[in-house]
Structure 1
Amino acid sequence: MDEVRVVVAHSERATLRVGDVFLKVDADQARVDAEVEAMALAPVPTPEVLWRKPPVLALAALPGTTLGRLGGPSTGSPAAWAAAGAAIRELHEAPLPARPGRAGRSIVALAAELDDECESLVRNGILPAGLVTRNRQVAEAALRPWPAVFTHGDLQIAHVFVDGEEVTGIIDWSEAGRGDALYDLATFTLGHEEHLGDVLAGYGADVDLDVIHAWWSLRSLLIVRWLAEHGFDPFAPGCEVDVLRSRM
């Protein structure tokens, strides 16, 4: 009998692996609906949906391995990172989905959320005021009008699988929808700034690096407290707090 392995688990959802099957347990069926719909629309490889019986979604495992993880070394070659950049560009050039995604929040709403979170981080002693203030200044560059594209919305490097120089699949599409292309690029390179050039070479389009840097700061500021409250460690070497410190 195959071993049951917990891939990730917190109060919102959990993912288990049994052999070559991933079981995603999520009580929010709207989120699961969004994920299934996005995978059907995406022009890049995605996991096969084996079956669905709420609250469980069963997905087939993808071939290949991830490019690494936040806080850990990259296991991919420059060519593999470039291939990922090309796949991201293919996604961004696809017809727009109907849903707004995580990367598509309004500037006003995002700025208000960011200000509230920065105030909370300082008030509760989670991060030093100077670190928060500097990164809030850097984050300002992301708060600008952007052309909507088809975004993944949570494009961590652990969500992209490669085999050699070929992208074999992208997982975890629950945050997908219309949004800012540079949010995806920044999420993908968060904590791995050394590979940004490789990704952009594959992406094949000029981007505003100040906005990429801004999204690194903004995403990290918004997620530090959530991670700490859900059993993750944003203070681990190479993770979100180190990303914030790198902007100083």
Structure 2
Amino acid sequence: MDEVEVVVAHDERATLRVGEVFVKVDGHPTRLATEVRAMHLAPIPTPEVLWHEPPALALSAALGVLGAPSEASPAAWAAAGRMIRRLHEAPLPPRPGRPLSDVEAELEKECEWLLAHSPLPSEVVEHNREIARKALTPRPPAFIHGDLQITHVFVEDDEVTGILDWSEGGPGDAMSDLAILTLGHEERLEDLLAGYGTDVDRGAIRAWWSLRSLTAARWLLEHGFDPDAPGCEFDVLRARMRESS
């Protein structure tokens, strides 16, 4: 029998891997159903749904991980870019996107928490808050993944074989997908855009780097992860400071 690997586990959800099967258990009553609907609508490779029996979902089985250099080739990053472009050009799914007012409120709340509780200097938080606010400019919505972390994209022989974790899939800012995928791997942005296309707002991508890092930090700290590990969210925020100096 294959060993059970705990991919991620916290008080909201857990993902286990047994051989080539992923089993997700989620305490939210509708999040897994939303994920299944998004996977059915996405025009790109997604895992096969083996079964869905709330609160669990079984899926058939990356570019890399945050905090470590990506060993994927430029061709693999370009392939990911082409795949994401296909997603962003697909018809919008029939679910509402997240209002920008909610994103703005979360940004302000998390920045205040970081100023009060984190080891980051206040000038780093404030500088990145100003950058992050530029991500709040309204843009035409696209079909986005919504949580396109580097560990959710699987590649083999320089081709994308599947993209995991669609619980946040829906209408949104295409630049946020590009930013989340390259978070901590900013040097790979041009490789990604070689496949995606260069008609992008690089300023918005940089703004989403800041926004994602600021809004994720408290959750990571409270769930046993370290945003201050080398190459992770706090390093991303410090990099924005170095760019301005």
TM-score for both structures, normalised by structure 2: 0.96
Q: Give the 3-state SS of the residue equivalent to 2:240 in structure 1.
A: coil
For 1:154 and 1:170, how far apart are their aligned partners in 2? 11
For 2:182 and 2:226, how far apart are their aligned partners in 1? 19
Written as runs of structure 1 = structure 2, the 5 A alignment for 1:68-147 is: 68-100=64-96, 104-147=97-140
Q: Give the 3-state SS of the residue equivalent to 1:28 in structure 2.
A: coil
* Residue in 2 that maps onto 1:29: 29
Structure 1 letter corresponding to 2:51: W
Q: Deviations over 1:1-30 (max 9, x none)?
A: 221111100000001111221111112131
* Residue in 1 that maps onto 2:174: 181
* Residue in 1 that maps onto 2:9: 9
Instruction: Give structure 1 regions of 4+ aligned residues with deviation exceeding 3 angstroms.
Output: none
For 2:83 and 2:30, how far apart are their aligned partners in 1? 26
Pairing 1:59–2:59 present: yes
Pairing 1:209–2:202 present: yes
* Residue in 1 that maps onto 2:49: 49
Structure 2 letter corresponding to 1:212: I
Pairing 1:150–2:146 present: no
Q: Give the 3-state SS of the residue equivalent to 1:247 in structure 2.
A: helix
TM-superposed deviation, 1:196: 0.3
TM-score for both structures, normalised by structure 1: 0.95
Unaligned runs of 5+ in 1: none
Q: Give the 3-state SS of the residue equivalent to 2:30 in structure 1.
A: helix
TM-superposed deviation, 1:239: 0.2
For 1:37 and 1:108, how far apart are their aligned partners in 2? 25
Q: Deviations over 1:144-185 (max 9, x none)?
A: 011111000000111001112211110000010010000000
For 1:81 and 1:193, how far apart are their aligned partners in 2? 12
Structure 2 letter corresponding to 1:56: A
User: What count of residue pairs does the alignment treat as equivalent?
Assistant: 241
Unaligned runs of 5+ in 2: none
* Residue in 1 that maps onto 2:161: 168
Q: Give the 3-state SS of the residue equivalent to 2:167 in structure 1.
A: coil
Q: Deviations over 1:92-127 (max 9, x none)?
A: 001100113xxx432222222211111111112442
For 1:89 and 1:95, how far apart are their aligned partners in 2? 12
Structure 2 letter corresponding to 1:24: K
For 1:20 and 1:112, how far apart are their aligned partners in 2? 39
For 1:125 and 1:200, how far apart are their aligned partners in 2? 34
For 1:226 and 1:127, how far apart are their aligned partners in 2? 15
For 1:158 and 1:225, how far apart are their aligned partners in 2? 20
TM-superposed deviation, 1:77: 0.5
Task: Choose 236-245 or 105-114, whichever is displaced more.
Answer: 105-114
* Residue in 2 that maps onto 1:228: 221
Identical positions, percent:
66
For 1:41 and 1:70, how far apart are their aligned partners in 2? 28
TM-superposed deviation, 1:219: 0.6
Structure 1 letter corresponding to 2:70: S
TM-superposed deviation, 1:222: 0.3
